[in-house]
Structure 1
Amino acid sequence: MRNPTDPIALGIIGAGIMGERMLNAILSEDGAPVRVAALWDPAPAALARIAARFPGLPLAPDAAAVVAASDCVYVASPPASHLGYARAALSAGRSVFCEKPLAVDLADARAFVALAGSRGAVNFPFASSLGVAALVQWIAQGAVGAPRRLTIEVAFARWPRPWQADAAGWLDAPREGGFTREVVSHFLFLSRRLLGPLHGLEASAEFPEPGRSERAIEATFRAGDVPVVLRGRVGATEQDDHNTWTLAGEAGAVRLRDWAIAESRRPDGRFEPAPDAMPNERARPIALRRQLEGVARMTHGEPHHLATLSEALEVQEIVEAILARGTAAA
């Protein structure tokens, strides 16, 4: 019988960017709440690369072997495969930690969420972000007052971003990819978590290149009672990735910039970072380690802070509604 204080046995399906980041988070920490039980990817080249990067990593011959070796299965494969692996894990009595989006088909995602209940969660790292924690503290202290508007802006020099080039086959395809699913979804989750249900959507999306993902979106909706304006565009910045989530109210404004940096607006209108703010390169591993603590609690059936399946489904509903309003170039 497993000792309840032992690390959770986490199986990983997918040896791409997120699989590797999660491995780094697990293996770089002494006393981590999870251990790697097994890893598998259907691409031999991906397995070879990850094995060279992490010698001694327990590799599995197939997804079924990952499930058999695990207490919880982390699904880090492309979106179209998520629910097949997740259902196999649930059928074997395992919990599931899944990358977003849950699925490429909303009806399938709804059915899965109804089946899974509390036995799964989704990897939205804002649930564990130090920058978000600073925003929450400022808001509670009255820095914003009564919220009046939320503005979300994302911009990219190109899509996919350079470090995603190996996954461009699905990341730039309209069925699974695009920056709305990959990036905007995180900020929709943040809005839902801090302000309330997302509703009242009006949106447009541009698909100017046949067979490729969107290049621009605009949307308005509400998060709880707060009006939201969302804008995203490829080619609108020289940076690989630039984003802001800005909440303004009658008393002031706070924002999260470039994934991790919490800032508050000064009386002169400039935004000032929190004293302990750090760039995403340093903040991301900390957030992922905190996510793993949530994975352990979820697998034990304890309360956790991770994004629930219901929250992730609500985000996916908004994402797909935005994209469904897309238009192609004449």
Structure 2
Amino acid sequence: MAVRLGIVGFGIMGERLLRAALAQDAMRPVAVWDPSAEAASRLARIAPEVPMLASPAAVIAACEALYIASPPSAHLEHAGAAFAAGRAAFLEKPLAADLAAARAFVTMAEAEGARAAVNFPMASSPAVAQLSAWRAGIGAPRALTIRADFATWPRGWQQGAAGWLARRAEGGFTREVLSHFLFLTRRQLGPLVLLDRSADYPPDDGAEIAVQARLAAGGVPVALSGQVGGTDRDESNEWRLEAEAGSIRLRDWSLAEKRDADGAWRPAPDALPNETMRPMVLRDQLRKLAALTRDEPQDLATLREALEVQEVVEGILGG
């Protein structure tokens, strides 16, 4: 039987997850809450059978698993209410706008055995699975570079959430984008240690416009950089691992590539652009969320992993 899914926050991420849920049978969307009238109209067009309820509490009462896609300052409030009602919680990152509150929350959730995970989709990415398979043949890792460039921030498709995504307190590309690649690094190489960092900000309360950092991941040196204005595309990103016997990379979220002897990068035979792969990945995330809700094995990002990533992100930002 499908797990009943509730959604709090019906911006672009809430909509994407709803669409993915409608395309599979492991979870059944039963309720949504968002304070925006525009969100209610959009939900009625996309899934008229799914009601927009009057409060987060009403959604929690109706569901078995709660997806939390509200702004970060509200994540812990909604997750705590879900836990109190005996529900599983699937949070967007970062865990919270306040790092101390995130630490306390994770300690509490672990002590209580709460069913919780964080939506880092690379936990279910076929491209990441391909990288893992290639690693067996390229020897010990020597160095990693992570790069992300943006024409503007927020990205074009995020302008509806610019009220918080563009602000220093909760937004910025380091939290929203580079965190995914730090999660991938943690899973592939080991614990993250921040060694050095810098961040540039506009003169107002806007989010960062450039960051650089040196880290170690399981002892492997990592160079990270990101900037706004570094490309004329909406965004460009790369995670590149150099090893003893070869190099592999993840480009533009979903393209797994391996460097041949001639120096050219060759994509995996089944490589797909992110727009095509994203719904597939979210469907797999939802299947794993159903397993989490039933206390079955799964490999979604844990609260502890998300906290470790957030600690590094906030360190890069100077927090």
Could you say which TM-score interval applies, normalised by the shorter chain?
Answer: over 0.9
Cα distance in 1, alignment partners of residues 62 and 195 from structure 2: 43
Tell me the equivalent position of 1:146.
140
The structural deviation recorded for 1:261 is 0.3
Which of 14, 35, 53 aligns to 2:9? It is 14
**Does 2:282 match 1:288?**
yes
Q: Structure 1 counterpart of 2:19, which letter?
A: N
Q: Deviations over 1:9-39 (max 9, x none)?
A: 111001100000001101123xx21111211
Mapping for residues 176-187 of structure 1, pairs under 5 Å: 176-187=170-181
**Does 2:18 match 1:23?**
yes
Tell me the equivalent position of 2:89.
96
**Does 2:100 match 1:82?**
no
Cα distance in 2, alignment partners of residues 127 and 19 from structure 1: 18
Which of 47, 50, 65 aligns to 2:58? It is 65
Which of 246, 262, 284 aligns to 1:268? It is 262
Q: Structure 2 counterpart of 1:210, which letter?
A: D
The structural deviation recorded for 1:116 is 1.3
> Relative to structure 2, which stretch is displaced further, 240-249 or 40-49?
40-49
Q: Tell me which stretches of 4 or more aligned residues in structure 1 moved more than 6 Å.
A: none
Q: Deviations over 1:144-182 (max 9, x none)?
A: 211000000000011111111111110000001000000
Mapping for residues 229-268 of structure 1, pairs under 5 Å: 229-268=223-262
The structural deviation recorded for 1:60 is 1.2
Tell me the equivalent position of 1:121.
117
Which of 8, 30, 35 aligns to 1:37? It is 30
Tell me the equivalent position of 2:132.
136
> So what's the TM-score if we normalise by structure 1?
0.94
| Contact map agreement 1:82 1:98 (CA 8 A) in 2 | yes
Three-state SS of the structure 1 residue aligned to 2:226 is: strand
| Contact map agreement 2:9 2:69 (CA 8 A) in 1 | yes
Q: Deviations over 1:43-78 (max 9, x none)?
A: 222222222222221221110000001111100111
**Does 2:230 match 1:197?**
no
**Does 2:42 match 1:49?**
yes
Cα distance in 2, alignment partners of residues 167 and 175 from structure 1: 14
- In the alignment of these two chains, the number of paired residues is 316
Q: Which runs of 5+ in 2 are unaligned?
A: none
> Relative to structure 2, which stretch is displaced further, 218-227 or 55-64?
55-64
Q: Structure 2 counterpart of 1:93, which letter?
A: G
Q: Percent identity?
A: 56
Q: Which runs of 5+ in 1 are unaligned?
A: 1-5, 326-330
